[in-house]
Structure 1
């Protein structure tokens, strides 16, 4: 069965994840985050209604993450209440005919792990695999796919880009707060672009895959990677080749080939030239992201060519508010038409999960970005279904050629 659905991340929608590293970053004196996450979308208490809304659109899958800092608030100390909460989400999905797709680590890390060295510590892969085993034991008999680390090539991207000087005041405050160098991998790995972090993340993924296979044989487990379309104009070929190798192909080889599938996350395209990189088109969103309908199929073709693994589109979307939702309503079918052609050409894609179900907390941008199929009023938290959600639901009912 081809999966049609939408994605979320615990920290971005649940609210109140006070034990996570990003919660601390948001509240530093010199934070780079626009605003604190607060109650987010209050998905933690409203999930049943939100999932019913998703199912009513005609979709059949839901991707969500388990908040590690909620499940394991102290090293080796697992919360039975938190595990039961996520189990209820799984059961609610199944009752509505939705296949649950679960992510173990989506950007945020428990504060206690950061203080212990985070994603530069040689002990972290073993700690992460223990957490993976616990979640697989609790939920793995009822879910469709398990993703280990969201966009696990982020450290490679940070290494390619170099440190952002705008973050240094926040990271200096973070050093004082955590008592360690924040290059240990705090919050979106923002300062973790070195070989140690890259290797630690890859090893954590490998160990988690092994732990899940041992605990729940037959449960498909894989990693998700951010894969933009990449092209070059005269003078940009060398930079494009270096980017493709360092940020895309190396992670695909080192992590994408380890497991049962690859989660492809694509939003846009990039064009490399003699003066640097620019958006892959002229149709830009408010945050400067180019809407490139063919980029999703391009990303899937690349991931499949490098790994030979089945693919699941775990994120794809656009930052467009209510006044611009008509652009999302046009972007989705245009991208999926190209994806359908890739599938017809033999690329093994098992599903499409749109980012995101709800307008949510978009990290340093706060609540100023609008990726949701469903809008969320920031004052009342009232939900409103956007027309683009109905477009996706219609596509799901009709299906893609070859899918």
Structure 2
């Protein structure tokens, strides 16, 4: 069973999360081209060549979608802004319709008593900036700070909280070393530069927003619980490296001014010259930490023997349709670990947690018992961490809506609300209704 609202502190926030490119419909409202449009147009990158041109048409249907969020009894709504919607070329001219959209969205949240949590960057880089090297180009730190200032100059007086960048590991490593997300690069030198320029851009944006009087600024990092696939020294070394790249690089840099030595061993020769001098900017203070958590990974060495070649192995736990193991203990682990190692007493929000399932509408209803069990077990992990003194202040389910799941197209359904991608009809799932009952105020 789901815990109730009464099982958590009175100021604890329950929310749901989305991202711009995955739901808005990027073809609308004068948005510029993004590197995800380019990536999706390249055969073999995205299932069936699908893209976010229409997505869930949230651009036109946001009032309906926020009614659904409010109807569930949520306290907060986490969304992201599209850089290319606001600044079609990434720099210079501002698209008034883009800023107007986010202005209306924030007001619509407040009208429904939903606290707006905005994330400035959730992966869709303007193509014009990708042409200039994107995250490989040091100048992106200043470009991003300008974008942050532009957006928050319009909505910063009304949002409850702002995060700079969502899941830096995906922006840098997944997209520039593994090549599985836009821009689809597989190059260690490109990856090394992105791994540093993302934290640098975060720091520059924090500085710019502080100068503009913005408060309640955070960063959202993603985490996977890592175990060696076997008890060999090679597997243990591989798991430690995976943990350092995935779980410790970004928080180590942004909170301590130190990148893990295990990663510097491989990336050090490829980092931009003088990167150490940037750490004062990288370590700009934040007001809260966001944790995205989904799964456990069993890791061993890859076949090539090259640095960074790490192999994932199937485990014996139940899996979601993403092939991700369900391991709620990992969420508890990172709440405790990040509080102890990086928190410094900062509030922590679970900014994403959820599961994909093969959801089908039958007689107007969607039964998703597995998702309900997943949420219940992870909320129990959150409650346990709170009882142990971790200052967890919020829990956001991924996602409010079924949406464009990046390279996997529209096949994977994470939503509390089912979306028919032909008709765009919304159907709340059983998990939605169960949460509405659990979150009802007595």
TM-score above 0.5, yes or no? yes
**1:291 maps onto 2:326 in alignment:** yes
**Using the alignment, how far apart are the partners of 1:313 and 1:261 within structure 2?**
11
Structural mapping, 1:184-199, within 5 Å: 186-187=182-183, 194-199=191-196
**Using the alignment, how far apart are the partners of 2:82 and 2:47 within structure 1?**
20
CA contact (8 A) 1:118 1:186 kept: no
Post-superposition offset of 1:188: 7.6
Report the equivalent of 1:100: 116
Q: Counterpart of 1:267 in 2: which secondary structure? A: strand
**1:248 maps onto 2:247 in alignment:** yes
Post-superposition offset of 1:31: 3.9
Structural mapping, 1:197-212, within 5 Å: 197-212=194-209
Query: Which of 15, 27, 47 is the aligned partner of 2:25?
Result: 15
Report the equivalent of 1:322: 359
Two-structure CA RMSD over aligned residues (Å): 2.3
Report the equivalent of 1:26: 40
Equivalences, count: 378
CA contact (8 A) 1:156 1:246 kept: no
**Using the alignment, how far apart are the partners of 2:316 and 2:78 within structure 1?**
29
Q: Which moved more, 1:241-250 or 1:148-157?
A: 148-157
Q: Is the alpha carbon distance of 1:239 and 1:397 closer, same or farther for their aligned partners in structure 2, counting shifts above 3 Å?
A: farther
**Using the alignment, how far apart are the partners of 2:231 and 2:87 within structure 1?**
51
Q: Is the alpha carbon distance of 1:281 and 1:349 closer, same or farther for their aligned partners in structure 2, counting shifts above 3 Å?
A: farther
CA contact (8 A) 1:293 1:334 kept: yes
Q: Which moved more, 1:313-322 or 1:275-284?
A: 275-284
Query: Which of 132, 138, 147 is the aligned partner of 2:154?
Result: 138
Query: Which of 41, 49, 56 is the aligned partner of 1:35?
Result: 49
Post-superposition offset of 1:216: 2.5
Report the equivalent of 2:72: 57
CA contact (8 A) 1:102 1:145 kept: yes
Post-superposition offset of 1:251: 0.9
Q: TM-score, normalised by structure 2?
A: 0.80
**Using the alignment, how far apart are the partners of 2:43 and 2:400 within structure 1?**
32
**1:120 maps onto 2:136 in alignment:** yes
**Using the alignment, how far apart are the partners of 2:16 and 2:161 within structure 1?**
14
**Using the alignment, how far apart are the partners of 1:188 and 1:147 within structure 2?**
25
Report the equivalent of 1:85: 101
CA contact (8 A) 1:154 1:189 kept: no
Query: Which of 435, 438, 442 is the aligned partner of 1:392?
Result: 435
Q: Is the alpha carbon distance of 1:222 and 1:282 closer, same or farther for their aligned partners in structure 2, counting shifts above 3 Å?
A: same
Query: Which of 379, 382, 398 is the aligned partner of 1:355?
Result: 398
**Using the alignment, how far apart are the partners of 1:277 and 1:354 within structure 2?**
26
CA contact (8 A) 1:99 1:144 kept: yes
Q: TM-score, normalised by structure 1?
A: 0.87
**Using the alignment, how far apart are the partners of 2:78 and 2:185 within structure 1?**
22
CA contact (8 A) 2:22 2:405 kept: yes
Post-superposition offset of 1:280: 5.5
Structural mapping, 1:206-285, within 5 Å: 206-217=203-214, 219-232=215-228, 233-235=230-232, 236-256=235-255, 258-273=285-300, 276-279=311-314, 281-285=316-320
Q: Is the alpha carbon distance of 1:83 and 1:367 closer, same or farther for their aligned partners in structure 2, counting shifts above 3 Å?
A: same
* Structure 2, unpaired ranges of 5+: 1-10, 256-282, 303-310, 361-366
Q: Is the alpha carbon distance of 1:241 and 1:143 closer, same or farther for their aligned partners in structure 2, counting shifts above 3 Å?
A: same
Provide, for residues 244-275 of structure 1, a one-character-per-residue CA deviation record: whole Å limited to 9, x for no partner.
22221121121356411111000111123578
CA contact (8 A) 2:42 2:49 kept: no
**1:4 maps onto 2:14 in alignment:** yes
* Structure 1, unpaired ranges of 5+: 168-184
Report the equivalent of 1:179: none
Q: Is the alpha carbon distance of 1:302 and 1:216 closer, same or farther for their aligned partners in structure 2, counting shifts above 3 Å?
A: same
